[in-house]
Structure 1
Amino acid sequence: MSKVWLITGASSGFGRAIVEAAVAAGDLVVAAARRTAALDDLVVAHPGRVEAYPLDVTDTAAIDSAVREIIERHGRIDVLVNNAGRGHVGAVEETTDRELRDLMDLHLFGPAALTRAVLPHMRRNGSGAIVQMTSMGGRFAFAGVSAYCATKFALEGLSEALAAEVAPLGIKVMIVEPGAFRTGFAGPGALHQSAALPAYAETVGPVRASLTDSDGRQPGDPAKAAAAILTALDAEDTPLRLLLGSDAADAVSAHLAGARAEFAAWEKLTRSTDFDA
């Protein structure tokens, strides 16, 4: 039986690649984006299979009515993909409160609102899947992307708890953690940057330069990422976290090894804080 997908941020990058993969699998996709003109070619190429839907995920007041309208029209939503997002570069001191809050609205509060909106329907059906697009930066942070990683850490925490809550109800949750892919993430005008302070030229300056210079040369293929997401969702034992890309695999493996070594070095002090038996 074909599925009905709701994919946010569908006009480009991972969102568009997942739309194409889902349609190729025989499913129907509601492709949501703030500006839907970029989806016109997919709508024409797949009549009745791709529907462009205007949606700004930071407008949480519009989310309930959007989900209700989609379910009324198509009968159900089987897979929600919270993909809408953008990059941001800036040291903690450089990042303004407004910049951090705007990013949280996009990467946390919007996906949380969409998740809450689809859950009653999925619970009634006893099935469904929620895909949260985060990043390898949802596992560890590095200089210059503090705000971005903070939002992805937050979404991962929410989603890990969510997965435990809804698993008995027949609903899957999968956190997708890509490395560097050719999605336009760091393309002209796509990467937001806080005003730079000279004090962080050595730590954040190289990050600003490398992200911009990497555009179009990232190792990851979005089409292969989309295919991997569908494969993992179809698996009987869908992973809670799906890393994508060799760079992500290497970076997270090194981070886990470092965390294990630090734990071992400080375990005795950690355990010394209990009351004496």
Structure 2
Amino acid sequence: MNGDNVLDVHDDLSARVRYYECDVTDTDDVNTAVDEIIGQWGRIDILVNNAGVARVGFFQERSPADTRREFEVNFFGYQRLIRAVLPHMRAQETGIIHNMCSGTADTGHAGLTGYSATKGAIKAFVRSLRLELRDTDVSCTLMIPPSTNTGMTAELEYPEWMTVEPEEVGRTLAEKIYSTEPVITPDMTTRIGLSLTRRFPFLWRRMTEGTVKNSE
């Protein structure tokens, strides 16, 4: 991750913004970052789990290590952060944990077997955690953005109309940062698109056909 944009904001708002580098695959690194935040601010009110990697390629072309890496970042990375912040949120009796998910958790995606599997796991995990936290004031949500034009999707040959710029997605989701709805989308277009692709899977197959090339 490049933190240059955050560091630029920090220069202007040093009293309100801090930047901590953290490897979400390293439990000690995660705990250290959270401890430093608690030491600086005294509390953590909102966590946004957004770390993610995707290894593009058909299943037979990928190694088990590829999928293992995706789970370490996309799934266990989320869990490490939640384990670190949840005791603080329970103690202060308030908190929101947002977890970035994907429509591929329901539809799948050719060439993204590992990534889609991690998002399916996150979806089931968050739903279960919500049940465990139902008698507390700590909320756990799924945030589902549209297909976003990021480095992670650069290898996918999506047509331009299918992707949204990350700045736009970030702004719209930031407006919902205090939402405790079980599933949060940035706009009605995304919500309708997710509903249609779940109900009519052939639409998603047509939209994503040819976005990943099989080397065979």
TM-score for both structures, normalised by structure 1: 0.65
> Which ranges of structure 2 fall in alignment gaps of 5 or more residues?
202-216
Say yes or no: does 1:174 pair with 2:141: yes
Say yes or no: does 1:102 pair with 2:46: no
Deviations 1:38-82 (A, max 9, x none): 532121122222211111111123212221221112100100111
Q: Which residue of 2 aligns with 1:232?
A: 176
Q: Which amino acid aligns with 1:112?
A: Q
Residue 128 of structure 1, aligned match among 87, 90, 95: 95
Q: CA deviation at 1:250?
A: 4.4
Following the alignment from structure 1 to structure 2, what is the Cα–Cα distance between the partners of residues 230 and 168?
A: 26
Following the alignment from structure 1 to structure 2, what is the Cα–Cα distance between the partners of residues 171 and 85?
A: 24
Q: Which residue of 1 aligns with 2:11?
A: 44
Report the CA distance shift for 1:116/1:88 in structure 2 as closer, same or farther (over 3 A). Answer: same
Following the alignment from structure 1 to structure 2, what is the Cα–Cα distance between the partners of residues 49 and 112?
A: 26
Say yes or no: does 1:161 pair with 2:131: no
Q: CA deviation at 1:224?
A: 4.0
SS for the counterpart of 1:54 is: coil
SS for the counterpart of 2:44 is: coil
Following the alignment from structure 1 to structure 2, what is the Cα–Cα distance between the partners of residues 71 and 162?
A: 23
Following the alignment from structure 1 to structure 2, what is the Cα–Cα distance between the partners of residues 251 and 146?
A: 21
Following the alignment from structure 1 to structure 2, what is the Cα–Cα distance between the partners of residues 162 and 170?
A: 13
Say yes or no: does 1:256 pair with 2:211: no
Give the number of the structure whose alpha-carbon radius of gyration is greater. Answer: 1
On the 8 A contact 1:220/1:245 being kept in 2, the answer is: no
On the 8 A contact 2:54/2:114 being kept in 1, the answer is: no
What root-mean-square deviation, in Å, do the aligned CA atoms of Structure 1 and Structure 2 show?
2.4
SS for the counterpart of 1:232 is: coil
Following the alignment from structure 1 to structure 2, what is the Cα–Cα distance between the partners of residues 116 and 243?
A: 25
Which range moved further: 132-141 or 221-230?
A: 221-230
SS for the counterpart of 1:169 is: coil
Following the alignment from structure 1 to structure 2, what is the Cα–Cα distance between the partners of residues 62 and 97?
A: 25
Q: Which residue of 1 aligns with 2:108?
A: 141
Following the alignment from structure 2 to structure 1, what is the Cα–Cα distance between the partners of residues 142 and 66?
A: 24
Give the total of aligned pairs: 201
Identity %: 29
Higher strand share: 1
